[in-house]
Structure 1
Amino acid sequence: MGPKMKTSCQSNGPSETCHPCELTLQAKDLKLCDNKCICVSDLRDCEADSSQYNPVSLNISCYLNDLCLLSYSWNPELVNCEDTTYSFILNFSTERHHCPGVLNGFANFNLTLRRRGRQLGDKGWFGPHLVDMVHAVKAPVPTITTVKSSDDSLSMSWTGDIGHEKCQVRYRVSTDHSWTQVPEDVPVNYGQSVDYVIKGLQPYTNYCVSLVCVGETGQPSEWSDEIPVMTLERAPSKGLEVCYHLRPPSSSSRHHHLILMWKALNMHEATGRILGYRVAYTSRTDGGGLSQNVTFNTTEMKTELNVWEQEGEVTVTAFNSAGSSPPSLLRIHPLPPQAMSTVRSLWVRSRGDFLVVQWDNSSLPVSGFAIEWTSHTNPESKHWRWVDGHSRSADLTEHILPLQTYTVSIYPIYHSLCGPPQSLPVGLEHGVHSKPDKLHIVVTGDVVTAGWEWVMDGSHIRVDGYRLELRHGRQEQVFPVWPDVRQHTFPKLQPHTTYSVHLLADNLTQNIITFTVVGYLEAIATATSLISLSLVLGLFAILYKTLYKDYILSQVANPQASQLGQWLLKPHTEEVVEKNILKLEDFLVTDLQVGRCFTEPDPESPCPSEEEDKSTCFILSLPRNESTGPAILLCCSGCEESFIGRLESSRVPSENSQIKSTLGCCPGCIQTWAPPRLVFTVGNTIECDNDYIVNTFAVQH
């Protein structure tokens, strides 16, 4: 019976190309040849020809039991283990009588390995290799029994085996290929349990641990099996990066629309599995008024809420099973800040199983961009990626499935402010699902403006980009067409020249419009005709209005043509003037008399004569209090061109105050009368302009 062979192909690193192959020989499989100094695993090898040997370096390791483990590194001259069989030849310096007993801790022999391939002629000899069992025997492989973890440490246990004197521990992050070996040795005794703690680890991280032990012969054992273990969670160590966008209230609501977004913490910052985010908004009020307080949890990284027209504060925290992150505080002002522009020239291209998002950031003073993509079949599931402000593209490699339509949105971010998004519908099969259509042009002189509309594309054709071309013969002007652009102008065209405007998808023309630029003289003639037509229409409108007013509308009486009308329109109301302005509604008119003034006039205050038939007198009843006098009489001499005046004052006149009375333009005088305790002195008359004259009067008690 041949030796038992097992293959274990393990990679120690991403650049490792050498694969070890292990062969196992059991002592019971050895057979004695006629030459008593040779033991073989296959009797066909008893007559081995040493001249055919090809020396190969072998790593020999044997356990203390009746097994001998032979291993070597991969050699280009060897085929793989699955296609090859091997046999062992052990050559001793003295005769042997029983081969199964030759594998012990004191034997010395030369080992030769013979390979036999499945193909004809595929065979070879490797060796001989001197084996000294005293130095080749290794300690038994230890076995890790338990592993426990905290947020920053691992505690492992194992039991000492025969020949174990000391052990060494190593560990690594499961995604890393390099090991960290603990510097100190751990002493062990046979049959005793050993505990060891690895400290200084990262929380919520997958690790692999292993150990090796050294026996009395000084040969270390093989490394034990790797045991995977994860450290426990810790409260997030860093606050969130939060930005906000405030939309002004609509016509039907007084509430602002607040949009909050934040960047997810990475694994080292989260130190655990983030279960959600807690958002708290509080409005700030003056004088202890009502305030708005809102607190809620969400699993998304964007939320929207309506807030009052008041200053407010927002705090956002991330939390896991161990606790919450430090809060991120934002102060929200009721007036929207300066609006940020959206990104320009947004486009998305499909590249096999992922999407490439591209945009232009040259005109935006930003600190970063947030990219959101959502499936139309599952709009509640949103995925995010944040990039720095210098980026112009990003690859979306995760959560992108075929036969799905996604809405990809990109937000510009400037520290705590985030701008409005620019969005596109996309898919893996056809890229962007919208296209420019309905091309039209407007020609004005030597300038042509081309316009189009963006519509959903149902043709299911992948397009990497659209462009607009203006062609004349072999001359071309090219303009790229992006979803944020709806028109483009081509200036300084040649007169009497035919051009064509082409809308292309990649290199295929989708729409085409041909036009001819009119000459400058024709354009001037056209403009002159339009101006002349406008003048004629304006003159006709003026004549029509005049004729309609004079011959169609009925005559309306003119109040100024009669004495009664003049009396009604322009009474000269005497002003009791004060620099403070009186309001008419503060007074109550108790009497109105046309003609003569009241009796008992003040001899120092002139009164209109009896011949003055056109004079008008007003009696104003003032409020009765200690600071005012009795009623004041204002007399206005009649004037042919006078109008009814008005008093302007905010309160009752007091001593040495001024009252201003505004009357219709009139060269006449103002006459005043008052009871004995009030004296009115006529002030200077200010010459009027086209409408009014202002007279000022001093009042004395």
Structure 2
Amino acid sequence: RLAVWTMTSLVCVCPHEVTVKQSDLKQCDDRRVCVTDLRDCDRRRTASTQETLNVSCQYHQSAESLTCGWSLHPEGHAEPAVSFIFSSELVIYSCPGIFNPLSLLTVTARIKDYATGREVWSRPWTFLLYDAAKPSRPVLSLLRSTEDSVVVSWRGGDGVCRLRYRVEGAPTWTEAPESVAAHEDETLTYTIKDLLVSTTYRAAVACTEESGIQSDWSAEVSGRTLDRAPSRPPEVCYRVEKRDSGSLLLHLMWKDLDLRDAGGRILGYRVTYETKQQPRRRVQNVTAVTALLVVEEGNCSVAVAAFNSAGYGPAARLAIDPRRRSGLPPVRHLWVSSSFPTAKGLLVQWENPSVPPSVPPVTHLAVQWRSGTPPSNGCRGNEDDGNESLFQDADPEESYLISVLPVYGQRCGPPQSLPASLQQGALMEAVQLKVVGVTKTSVSVAWVWQKKSGPIRVQRYRVKLRKDSESHTLSLWPDQRQLTFLNLTPNTEYSLLLLADDSSRNVVPVRTDFDEGPAVAAATPLLLLAAVVSIVSILTRTVYKSYFFPHICSPRGSDTGRWLMDPNHQKTADRRVLDLEAFQVTRVLGEKSLIVVRP
């Protein structure tokens, strides 16, 4: 049967290897020949089919096998058939016993490429198995570790040994800069230097003896460098919040130290604080990157120091005046979206705050997430200088409370928080859209944010105001409860839509107010013309009456005329029509005389 086919590389021109076990060999009629395929006993090779393939073999004494390799230019992608012919100048009594250190064998390889149908025979190669014996595999062991080095040892034969190492989980190896000379039965030690602190490494060694054949790489050993006490204090910021009871809540927050400064895995943080009213120092150990302290009115001092298995690092010290509670602007328009299962992460996005000149600039933004399922697993976080962050360690079965807050030097801005999960993204939805104000050119709408009622993933919410081809769209954010559409057409019917992605959740009709301006503008000339006509008519009538028509006295202008025109006279004994005394005039001398009226 054919030998087992193995390839050590996939490049176009590469060494191929086949391992032949003694049990694979069969004896031909010629007692000096053993083959892996009985059909090779009767085949005859020609000079035209012979090629120099650089065949070489390594003898594995413990496994009683040979590994033979050669270089070949394959013309096709199909796997070729390979068989071997082993011959000796002496009679072979048992093919399964020819693999021993004293055997002198000649090996020929026959390779057939099924893709091209071409058959190639290698030139015979004669070798002594003792000279081709592969060195035994070294046994590597770990001796000790320091903060930046690992010491290993092994036993080797005569020759040279090479050592390689890598960070656990890394795909590539790093070879030690120098080789180690080995002697028979000598225990060798080697120190791998310049390593990262508190990091696990894996190492292996291989030895090459005088024959030039290299042993297999040893089994990998694992070693971890020791921790070193943290070399830097954490960067701490604070925020003061007043309680109804009159006491103050002091929120402390800091970011994790990087590996170089942390000196290893941080086990926790020691928070110490004291006030003028209570000078006795109080200590609190926390494992998260936040701490919450209840303090009284008055200045206080706080120190935060990280610690690991090697000890405590330097402390960050803050002198805090709780009376300084001036507002700092938070981030705006926080939203969390998910593309699970395409991408196993939560994308947190926000809009950076607009900082007035009186407020110090934002140094960085902190993103924190806390498990929403009790018991909480604590708070974790990282920092970001942009307007988005990717949370990649989310559990599909877990919900989280994600917070983003700006940091102004040593002061923390107020956080913006949003619940989210990997399967649904943000766990908030906009509902109850309604119109709260209408003018001639604007419409104000309001809505309510509530916990998501169903397993629906929404990347964003929008509200659209449309009429035929006219459309106005605004995005909704959890920090908003109301917005206004501007520059609308007066006295126009619109449709107000609440959109979850591109799906409409709610439709509300609305009409803008009537605009009196055009009507007044159109009526004003007519009113002015009517007023002018009225004034001209009155003036004309007055002029005509004064100059062209004599004045006619009206009987109703006197008592006598009204009496004469009254049809219902009272019948009295005294029937004087005219009172002559009324017609008497007084002279200058005081005497009265009648005025005589003649026709």
TM-score of the aligned structures, taking structure 2 as reference length = 0.73
Match of 1:263 among 255, 258, 268: 255
| Matching residue of 1:303 | 291
C-alpha distance in 1, partners of 2:54/2:368? Answer: 57
Give the conservation status (yes or no) of the 8 Å contact 1:280–1:293.
yes
Pair 1:340-2:294 in alignment: no
Pair 1:215-2:232 in alignment: no
C-alpha distance in 2, partners of 1:16/1:362? Answer: 55
Pair 1:167-2:161 in alignment: yes
Deviations 1:618-647 (A, max 9, x none): xxxxxxxxxxxxxxxxxxxxxxxxxxxxxx
In the TM superposition, what is the alpha-carbon distance from 1:28 to its structure 2 partner? 7.1
In the TM superposition, what is the alpha-carbon distance from 1:482 to its structure 2 partner? 0.8
Q: How does 1:36-75 map to 2 (within 5 A)?
A: 38-50=33-45, 60-63=57-60, 66-71=64-69
| Matching residue of 1:224 | 218
| Matching residue of 1:613 | none
In the TM superposition, what is the alpha-carbon distance from 1:35 to its structure 2 partner? 3.9
Give the conservation status (yes or no) of the 8 Å contact 1:64–1:139.
no
In the TM superposition, what is the alpha-carbon distance from 1:378 to its structure 2 partner? 2.6
Pair 1:153-2:149 in alignment: yes
| Matching residue of 2:364 | 368
| Matching residue of 2:582 | none
Structure 1 residues 45 and 502: alpha-carbon distance in aligned structure 2, compared to 1, 3 A threshold:
same
3-state SS of the aligned residue for 1:387?
Answer: strand
| Matching residue of 1:473 | 468
Structure 1 residues 393 and 26: alpha-carbon distance in aligned structure 2, compared to 1, 3 A threshold:
same
Match of 1:501 among 490, 496, 509: 496
In the TM superposition, what is the alpha-carbon distance from 1:398 to its structure 2 partner? 0.5
Give the conservation status (yes or no) of the 8 Å contact 1:146–1:158.
no
Give the conservation status (yes or no) of the 8 Å contact 2:466–2:494.
yes
| Matching residue of 1:252 | 245
Pair 1:354-2:354 in alignment: no
Give the conservation status (yes or no) of the 8 Å contact 1:90–1:112.
no
| Matching residue of 1:130 | 125
1:376 is aligned with what amino acid?
Answer: G
1:448 is aligned with what amino acid?
Answer: V
In the TM superposition, what is the alpha-carbon distance from 1:278 to its structure 2 partner? 0.8
Give the conservation status (yes or no) of the 8 Å contact 1:87–1:115.
no
Give the conservation status (yes or no) of the 8 Å contact 1:368–1:386.
no
Deviations 1:385-407 (A, max 9, x none): 32322x222222203223x3322
In the TM superposition, what is the alpha-carbon distance from 1:258 to its structure 2 partner? 0.8
In the TM superposition, what is the alpha-carbon distance from 1:476 to its structure 2 partner? 1.1
In the TM superposition, what is the alpha-carbon distance from 1:522 to its structure 2 partner? 9.1
Structure 1 residues 27 and 438: alpha-carbon distance in aligned structure 2, compared to 1, 3 A threshold:
closer
3-state SS of the aligned residue for 2:516?
Answer: helix
Aligned residues: 504
Pair 1:382-2:378 in alignment: yes
C-alpha distance in 2, partners of 1:90/1:78? Answer: 28
Give the conservation status (yes or no) of the 8 Å contact 1:205–1:231.
yes
Match of 2:314 among 298, 318, 326: 326
Q: Which runs of 5+ in 1 are unaligned?
A: 526-701
In the TM superposition, what is the alpha-carbon distance from 1:165 to its structure 2 partner? 3.3
Structure 1 residues 496 and 201: alpha-carbon distance in aligned structure 2, compared to 1, 3 A threshold:
closer
| Matching residue of 1:236 | 230
3-state SS of the aligned residue for 2:314?
Answer: coil
Deviations 1:307-365 (A, max 9, x none): 12222222111211111222122221222254222211111111113221111126354
In the TM superposition, what is the alpha-carbon distance from 1:298 to its structure 2 partner? 1.1
Match of 2:451 among 431, 453, 456: 456
C-alpha distance in 1, partners of 2:76/2:402? Answer: 54
| Matching residue of 1:545 | none
Give the conservation status (yes or no) of the 8 Å contact 1:445–1:523.
no
Structure 1 residues 124 and 484: alpha-carbon distance in aligned structure 2, compared to 1, 3 A threshold:
farther
Pair 1:398-2:386 in alignment: no
3-state SS of the aligned residue for 1:44?
Answer: helix
C-alpha distance in 2, partners of 1:373/1:107? Answer: 71
C-alpha distance in 1, partners of 2:500/2:14? Answer: 52
Pair 1:277-2:265 in alignment: no
Give the conservation status (yes or no) of the 8 Å contact 1:115–1:124.
yes
Q: CA RMSD in A?
A: 3.8
| Matching residue of 2:417 | 423
Give the conservation status (yes or no) of the 8 Å contact 1:317–1:327.
yes
Pair 1:516-2:508 in alignment: no
Structure 1 residues 27 and 452: alpha-carbon distance in aligned structure 2, compared to 1, 3 A threshold:
closer
In the TM superposition, what is the alpha-carbon distance from 1:16 to its structure 2 partner? 9.4
In the TM superposition, what is the alpha-carbon distance from 1:469 to its structure 2 partner? 1.7
Q: How does 1:300-699 map to 2 (within 5 A)?
A: 300-352=288-340, 353-361=344-352, 363=354, 365-389=361-385, 391-402=386-397, 404-441=398-435, 442-521=437-516
C-alpha distance in 2, partners of 1:503/1:309? Answer: 47
Give the conservation status (yes or no) of the 8 Å contact 2:345–2:394.
no
3-state SS of the aligned residue for 1:50?
Answer: coil
3-state SS of the aligned residue for 2:338?
Answer: strand
1:226 is aligned with what amino acid?
Answer: E
Q: Which moved more, 1:179-188 or 1:482-491?
A: 179-188
Structure 1 residues 437 and 115: alpha-carbon distance in aligned structure 2, compared to 1, 3 A threshold:
same
3-state SS of the aligned residue for 1:325?
Answer: strand
Give the conservation status (yes or no) of the 8 Å contact 1:369–1:412.
yes
Q: Which moved more, 1:331-340 or 1:420-429?
A: 331-340
C-alpha distance in 1, partners of 2:172/2:445? Answer: 62
Give the conservation status (yes or no) of the 8 Å contact 2:156–2:184.
yes
In the TM superposition, what is the alpha-carbon distance from 1:219 to its structure 2 partner? 3.3
Give the conservation status (yes or no) of the 8 Å contact 2:53–2:71.
no
1:281 is aligned with what amino acid?
Answer: Y
Deviations 1:270-329 (A, max 9, x none): 33222211111122x3xxx64363211111111111112222222111211111222122
Pair 1:111-2:108 in alignment: yes
1:109 is aligned with what amino acid?
Answer: T
1:256 is aligned with what amino acid?
Answer: L
In the TM superposition, what is the alpha-carbon distance from 1:31 to its structure 2 partner? 4.6
In the TM superposition, what is the alpha-carbon distance from 1:106 to its structure 2 partner? 7.9
Structure 1 residues 393 and 16: alpha-carbon distance in aligned structure 2, compared to 1, 3 A threshold:
farther
C-alpha distance in 2, partners of 1:366/1:240? Answer: 18
Q: Which runs of 5+ in 2 are unaligned?
A: 356-360, 521-599
TM-score of the aligned structures, taking structure 1 as reference length = 0.64
Give the conservation status (yes or no) of the 8 Å contact 1:367–1:388.
no
Deviations 1:207-264 (A, max 9, x none): 12222223232433333222222222222233222221122x24431x2211111212
